[in-house]
Amino acid sequence: MFVHPLLQLYQPQMKFLPLLVVIRAIAAAGLNLPFSLPPGITRLVGGPTLPFPQWLTDFTGLKEWPGLDPPFIPLDFIDFSKIEPANHHIQGQCDMITPTSCSFDCQNCVSFDDVYTCPVLSQTFDDGPTPATTKLLANLKTKTTFFVLGHNVAKYPDTYRQAVAAGHIMGSHTWSHKFLPSLSNEEIIAQIQWSIWAMNATGHHLPKWFRPPYGGLDNRVRSIVRQFGMQNVLWDYDTFDWKLNDNSKSAGQVVAEVDQLIKSRTHGLMLEHDMMVQTVNIGIDINKKLPSQMTVPQCIGGIDYIKRFN
């Protein structure tokens, strides 16, 4: 019997693969796979369920949500002359980065308006919404900040609305989790604008807070994000829960390291993920140990959203 090569990615002996490898492989093949993924892995690729709004058709001329590479739509308020120059680089290649770039991913550099810590040790969650997010929402005892992918918002709009209704803060994490310093200016803008449009079409608001995927942030990216009126949010503690994806860390190791953090400090912003059940379970466990937390806007006395619509 012929077995498509992609099906071999899910043989029982292979518990997990890096999530982005799975996503890109499925997307490239254009498959709607008729089988269940391994426990805890949520499918992030597929057709959106969020209706494409008429106002967005009127503005873009399009009638459906884009794939993982959204088209650039010119915006009157984006001034390309105000975009700071910087050497493009792919993730992990930092030899061409200059100090003036203020790269977070290469130099751990933060700018004057970057949010990277909090007076109270607080959780934040990236890469949702996913089917695993609903379990997290049902068990959180504090308000938190979610940094969502626009592509997932379009696919799981009800979960997004559930988070909004519960009073959590929703920030942008781009449309499809691209490493922004490697992209052109137009591609960065497309990643941001389509994320905002999905959030607006679902939650009827414009996000104030933005987290660059992989912490890929330099002054060129900052100068674009600022023109959208948003503010970059980073972190000063990475739980490394995402390493559960390739088994380079166990859940026990992640929890033990966080327990040590809680004993040693009372402030900070923690990077976590609601992309799969395993990371959600860790998030729930940590949440029980931190009964007093802040959302990102509470951390700095900022606003929740740029604008809310009725």
DSSP-derived pairing of the beta strands 269-273 and 237-238: parallel
**Active-site residue, 218 included:** no
**Active-site residue, 95 included:** no
**Whether the Cβ atoms of residue 208 and residue 297 lie closer than 8 Å to each other:** yes
C-alpha dihedral over 53, 153, 48, 274, to 10 degrees?
-170
- Per the residue annotation, which of 151, 168, 177, 273 is the catalytic one? 273
Question: What's at 265, amino acid-wise?
Answer: R
- Per the residue annotation, which of 89, 105, 126, 241 is the catalytic one? 126
**Whether the Cβ atoms of residue 146 and residue 163 lie closer than 8 Å to each other:** yes
**Active centre residues (catalytic):** 126, 273
